[in-house]
Chain A
C-alpha cells in the first residue's frame, strides 16, 4: 500500500503504537481543547480514519523561532507521530530540497491537493513598496501568500508575526508588515499567536482538524478559544498574592521567591490571552511567570509597542511630560485673560469706582 493511502490508525499500528496509548493521547488533546470526554471515542475513531493531510508551510518575514519552538519541544511521542503523519510538502527550513527543486515540490503539492491542503504560515508579510522587502524565488511574500491561499482548505497563521505582524510591524514598521488575515479574507484562518507560539496549541489544532475536518472555534482575534479563552492572569498561580496586594519589588527579592505577584515588575498577564499558565512550556516543566519574569504579552497584537516590558500595566504611556508644563502655562495665560475681562466687568458694576 502506498504511504499516501495509509490512514492514521494504520500508520500507528505499523509503528507499534497501542490503541490504549492512542486513546490516552486523544483524551489529553480533547481535554486541552475543551472537547467533552464523551466525544473522545468518536474523535479517536475519526482520527484513526484520517488520511495523510498535505500541509504547505510558508515562511515569510520571520526569525525561525516559531518552527524551532514547534519542532524542538516534542519528545518522541505521539505528538511527533502526528507531525510525521502529516505530509509536510513544503517547509524551506526543514526540507532537503532547495532552490528550483523546492519550488517545484511546492507547486506539485498544490496541484495534487488543490482545495484540500492546509497552509501554515509564519512571519509577517510586507506590503510597502509592493512588498519588495521579502522575496522568495523572485516572488514577493505578498504574491506568494495570495497564490498558495487560493487552493488552500484553510490557513493557520503561526506566531504573532503571521497573526498580527509581530516584531516586523513594530514601530515604525519600515516594511509595512501585516499578518495573514489582513491580506487573505476569503478562507478560514486560524491564528496561533505567541512569540514563540505554544507547541501544544499546534498539536491540538492539527488533531482536531484531522478528526473533525474543520478548524476549532475561535475568538474575535481568530484564536482557538480552547487555548486563548482565559488570560494568563486568570490562571496564574501567583494570583492569590495579587488579590492580597503582595507584590515582588525586584526579580530576586524575598517576595519574588515566595511567589508574590509580578504586577509591579511589569507583568502583562492581565491583558494577555494564552495557555502558558495552564499548559506551561517544555513539556509542562515551567513557564515565564513561574521562573520569575512577568508575562510580556507576546501573544497579543502590537505587544512590542506597549511601552517598556517592565512598566506596570497601570502606569500610563507618556509621549513626553512637557505637555503638562504647556498645559499649566496655557492655564495661567487663559486665567489672566479671564481675570482682565472680569476686572472690566467688576469696574463697570462698581460704576468706574475702582476699589
Chain B
C-alpha cells in the first residue's frame, strides 16, 4: 500500500469516523445536560427575536469598538470565506463530495482558487502574528488556539503545494495534503474548531437570554 492509497482509504475512513463520532458526541453531550431554568419574569414576550438579533449583531463589530476591532473582523471574514470557497468550490473537492452525496455543483476556475488560497494563508499568518504580538491575546491563548491554527493552515499550504506540484512526487504531495485534512477532521470536534457548531448556538442563546431580561444582545 502506498502512502496515497493509505490516505485515500483507511486514513480517510478513520478520520471521518472520528469526526462524525466526535461531533455527535459533543452536541449530544452538551444538549443532554440539565439546562438551568430562568426563573425571572420575562421582560418581553418574544425573547427569540433577541436571539436572532444576537446572531446578526455579532456578525459585525459594535460601533464603539469598531476602530479597535475592525481589522480582526476583516481578517476573520477573509479566513472563513477563503475556507468556504476553497473547500467547496474547487473542482477536485466537489468531486470528493459528489462521491459521498451523489450530486455536485459548479466550480470556480483553479486559478481563482489558487489566488484565494494565497490570500487566506496570508490572513492566517497575520492572525497568528497579531496573536503572538499582542500581550493580552498571547496571555489568553493556549495550546488549543495554536494547534487549531496549525491544523487549519496546514491543508491550505499542502494543498497549494500539491496543486502547484512543488513536491518531489505529486502523489506523495497529494497524500500529505489528504493526511493534513484528516488531521483537521480528527482534531475538529475536540478543540476550538468546534466553534463552527457552537458560534450560532452561543450567540443565539446570549441574545435571547439578554432579551428576556430586558437587555440588549
Q: What 1/0 mask marks residues of chain A from 216 to 248 whose CB sits below 8 Å from any chain B CB?
A: 000000000000000101100000001111010
**Are A271 and B171 CB-contacts (below 8 A) given A243-B111, A263-B91, A328-B20?**
yes
- A335 and B24: CB pair below 8 A? yes
Does B23 belong to the interface (CB within 8 Å)? yes
- B23 and A233: CB pair below 8 A? no
From A234, A247, A307, A339, give the contact of B33 (CB < 8 A). A339
- B28 and A331: CB pair below 8 A? yes
- A316 and B8: CB pair below 8 A? yes
- A328 and B24: CB pair below 8 A? yes
A120 to B: closest C-beta gap in Å? 26
Question: What residues on B are CB-neighbors of A338 within 8 Å?
Answer: 25, 28-29
CA distance A316 to B6 in the complex (A): 10
- A247 and B91: CB pair below 8 A? yes
Question: What residues on B are CB-neighbors of A347 within 8 Å?
Answer: 34
- B25 and A314: CB pair below 8 A? no
Q: What 1/0 mask marks residues of chain A from 112 to 129 whose CB sits below 8 Å from any chain B CB?
A: 000000000000000000
**Are A342 and B9 CB-contacts (below 8 A) given A270-B174, A323-B16, A330-B21?**
no
Does A69 belong to the interface (CB within 8 Å)? no
**Are A319 and B33 CB-contacts (below 8 A) given A314-B93, A335-B25?**
no
- B24 and A323: CB pair below 8 A? no
- B24 and A332: CB pair below 8 A? yes
Does A79 belong to the interface (CB within 8 Å)? no
Does A13 belong to the interface (CB within 8 Å)? no
B94 to A: closest C-beta gap in Å? 9
| Max chain A C-beta neighbours (<10 A), residue from B92, B93, B108, B165 | B92
Identify the closest chain B residue to A344 (Cβ): B34
CA distance A305 to B20 in the complex (A): 27
Question: What residues on B are CB-neighbors of A264 within 8 Å?
Answer: 91, 95
CA distance A338 to B29 in the complex (A): 6
Q: How many A-B residue pairs have CB under 8 A?
A: 130
CA distance A331 to B23 in the complex (A): 7
B130 to A: closest C-beta gap in Å? 34
Q: What 1/0 mask marks residues of chain B from 57 to 100 whose CB sits below 8 Å from any chain A CB?
A: 00000000000000000000000000000000001110110111
Question: What residues on B are CB-neighbors of A96 within 8 Å?
Answer: none
- B95 and A314: CB pair below 8 A? yes
Does A134 belong to the interface (CB within 8 Å)? no
CA distance A316 to B37 in the complex (A): 46
Question: What residues on A are CB-neighbors of B30 within 8 Å?
Answer: 339
**Are A334 and B36 CB-contacts (below 8 A) given A302-B2, A312-B95, A317-B9?**
no
Question: What residues on B are CB-neighbors of A271 within 8 Å?
Answer: 4, 170-171, 174
CA distance A327 to B17 in the complex (A): 5
- A346 and B5: CB pair below 8 A? no
Question: What residues on B are CB-neighbors of A339 within 8 Å?
Answer: 28-33
Does B26 belong to the interface (CB within 8 Å)? yes
Does B119 belong to the interface (CB within 8 Å)? no
A273 to B: closest C-beta gap in Å? 9
Does B161 belong to the interface (CB within 8 Å)? no
CA distance A315 to B109 in the complex (A): 19
Does B22 belong to the interface (CB within 8 Å)? yes
B42 to A: closest C-beta gap in Å? 17
Does B44 belong to the interface (CB within 8 Å)? no
Does B27 belong to the interface (CB within 8 Å)? yes
- A324 and B17: CB pair below 8 A? yes
If A247-B91, A263-B91, A331-B21 are given as contacts, then 4 extra A-B residue pairs at C-beta distance below 8 Å, sorted by A number, are A244-B110, A264-B91, A315-B95, A316-B96
- 8 smallest CB-CB distances across A and B, nearest first, come from A335-B28, A331-B24, A339-B32, A315-B99, A314-B92, A338-B29, A312-B95, A327-B20
Q: Which residues of chain A have a CB within 8 Å of any CB of chain B?
A: 231, 233-234, 242-245, 247, 263-264, 270-271, 301-302, 305-307, 311-319, 323-324, 326-328, 330-332, 334-336, 338-339, 342-343, 346-347, 354-355
